[in-house]
Chain A
Amino acid sequence: MSLITVERKILEKNDEIANINREKFRFKGMFTLNLVSSPGSGKTSLIEQTIKILKGKLNIAVIEGDVQTNLDAQRIDALGVSVVQIVTNGACHLDAMLVRDAFQKLINIDINLLFIENVGNLVCPAAYDLGEEMKVVIISTTEGDDKPLKYPAIFRNSEVLVINKIDLIPYVNCNIDTIIMNALSINSGLKIFEVSCTSMEGINEWCEYLLYKVKSQ
């Protein structure tokens, strides 16, 4: 019997490519966000509304991740913004290799702000660095206020929390203060935005924050 010491990170290959992605994104002068949420929380809607407000001020591009279909890419394309759709064919998260390959199609485009919309899932995307500057976790009021406690890793690993669908608060059993308290118990440094992609409440504040981030990149 012989024992071999290994001491290697299981995700070392992903992390290595994520670091190369990050260098490439920074070299291009891009600010890159990795948007993570459950299915149906409003990732694509948030990107759409952000594009509508910031399109005249920034060059925006989007990488869409879904298990199937290019429906999200069609929505972004309709707004006249460069978009690449990744179809994972069953995989529950994006990884750095998929993002590297998708970005090849955007390499010659002038971009300040890149959104990577992950597959709808609050578990697996938490483990995978894609090369982003920050993860943004989105939850909607219809999901209930206990989600930060149930899926703590993604809340710990994100820098920003966007609470979407605040226009529905009168109709759902969800206390926004509880969402915030729960989220801050996991990650006290979270920057929090309360928005509605339907009524547009709070979207301007979110866009101002992105503008600031892009300019201070």
Chain B
Amino acid sequence: MHEVSIAQEIIEIVKDYLPKNNHVSVKSVRVEIGEFSNILPDALSFGFKVLTNITDMKDTELIISKVPLTVKCRDCENISILDEPFFFCHSCESANVEILTGTELKVIEIELND
């Protein structure tokens, strides 16, 4: 339920890239959301829509790229893609694994309408 806070942070970051005193509209914002980040994409899109609704960004599209949860085994160095968050190496079944991807919460790029 913190998707609205996350949407607000995205908007604040986008504002940093808009030229001052110059009306440029933002076509889209692309974000990366990890599968293990506790963010529901639909709720994030909804939060973004609500927060931008009466602003210059009301037509801005939020594009969400999901990033799978992957772990690297510290014992055998195998990289596993985890469909469910059970943290075991798929090769040697060790629990001694570190997360490589899947916790991302990032703004990747912004597209402006010139």
Contacts and interface: CB of A to CB of B under 8 A. Distances in A.
Interface of A: 1-14, 91-93, 95, 121, 123-124, 126-128, 152-153, 156, 184-188
Tier of interface size on chain B: 20 to 34
Given A8-B13, A9-B105, A185 B112 contact: no
B5 interface: yes
A4 B88 contact: no
B49 interface: no
A92 B17 contact: no
Interface string B90-104: 000001100100000
The 10 closest A-B pairs by CB, nearest first: A188-B95, A124-B2, A152-B85, A10-B105, A6-B107, A4-B110, A10-B9, A153-B38, A185-B86, A92-B1
Contacts, number: 92
Interface of B: 1-2, 5-6, 9-10, 12-13, 17, 27, 31, 36-39, 85-88, 95-96, 99, 105-114
B106 A7 contact: yes
Contacts of A8: 13, 106-107
B72 to A, nearest CB: 15
A92 B4 CA distance: 11
B5 A91 contact: yes
B2 A10 contact: no
A11 B105 contact: yes
A1 B85 contact: no
B2 A4 contact: no
B82 to A, nearest CB: 10
Contacts of B13: 6, 8, 10, 12
A126 B105 CA distance: 13
Given A184-B95, A188-B87, A6 B109 contact: yes
Nearest to B34: A153
Nearest to B6: A10
A3 B9 contact: no
A179 to B, nearest CB: 15
Contacts of B109: 3-7
Contact of B38 (A2, A124, A186): A124
